């Protein structure tokens, strides 16, 4: 597992600092690399984080993750290449009541409770997990299904079935 990348939240947001880099998928937490929809556990995720203060004087962290993942197509069960390109604007709140009120007022708001230090790796892992589609699939699975049907005709049991039916 990858060592945390800790940021001092107050300094990071007030000074509008940035941090970026790349991580290997296999180095992330098990909940990411063992996700049931991952067909392959290799790959590199690039990330960028930027802090700031919005017009309501609320601190925020913008997180951008991108890379290419190979997921299991839910139609043909073969690997499908999927481009991860997710951006989040996470507004930080000092207490749960403020967070809850803001979330009720703005359903699109992504909020989190203020912490003295934030672990960027945890934020990246969360963003990856939230971005993975529920049912990934090829744009056109017909070619994949046709090739698997052709392989089925080479199956000895398929030939026996043909003999049995008199074909």
Quick: pLDDT tens for 116-139: 999 999 999 999 999 999 999 898
Looking at residue 151, its pLDDT comes to 56
**What Rg do the C-alpha atoms of the chain give, in angstroms?**
23
Contact 118, 9 (CB under 8 A): yes
Q: Is the pTM of this model over 0.95?
A: no
| Range of weakest confidence among 14-18, 67-71, 160-164 | 160-164
What residues does 58 pair with on adjacent strands? none
Looking at residue 9, its pLDDT comes to 94
* Confidence bin at 167 (pLDDT 50/70/90): low
Quick: pLDDT tens for 83-116: 999 999 999 999 999 999 999 999 999 999 999 9
Contact 46, 22 (CB under 8 A): yes
When pLDDT is averaged across residues 77-87 and rounded to a whole number, the result is 94
CA atoms within 13 A on the CB side of 85: 3
How many Å apart are CA 31 and CA 37, to the nearest integer? Answer: 11
């Amino acid at each position: 597992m990858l060592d945390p990348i800790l940021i001092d939240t107050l300094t990071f947001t007030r000074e509008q600092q940035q941090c970026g880099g790349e991580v290997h998928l296999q180095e992330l937490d098990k909940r990411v690399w063992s996700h049931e929809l991952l067909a392959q556990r290799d790959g590199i995720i690039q990330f960028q984080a930027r802090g700031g203060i919005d017009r309501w004087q609320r601190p925020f962290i913008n997180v951008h993750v991108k890379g290419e993942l190979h997921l299991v197509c839910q139609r043909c069960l073969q690997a499908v290449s999927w481009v991860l390109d997710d951006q989040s604007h996470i507004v930080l709140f000092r207490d749960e009541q403020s967070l809850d009120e803001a979330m009720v007022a703005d359903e699109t708001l992504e909020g989190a409770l203020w912490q003295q230090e934030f672990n960027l790796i945890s934020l990246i892992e969360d963003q990856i997990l939230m971005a993975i589609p529920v049912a990934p699939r090829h744009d056109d699975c017909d070619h994949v299904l046709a090739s698997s049907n052709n392989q089925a005709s080479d199956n000895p049991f398929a030939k026996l079935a043909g003999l049995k039916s008199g074909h």
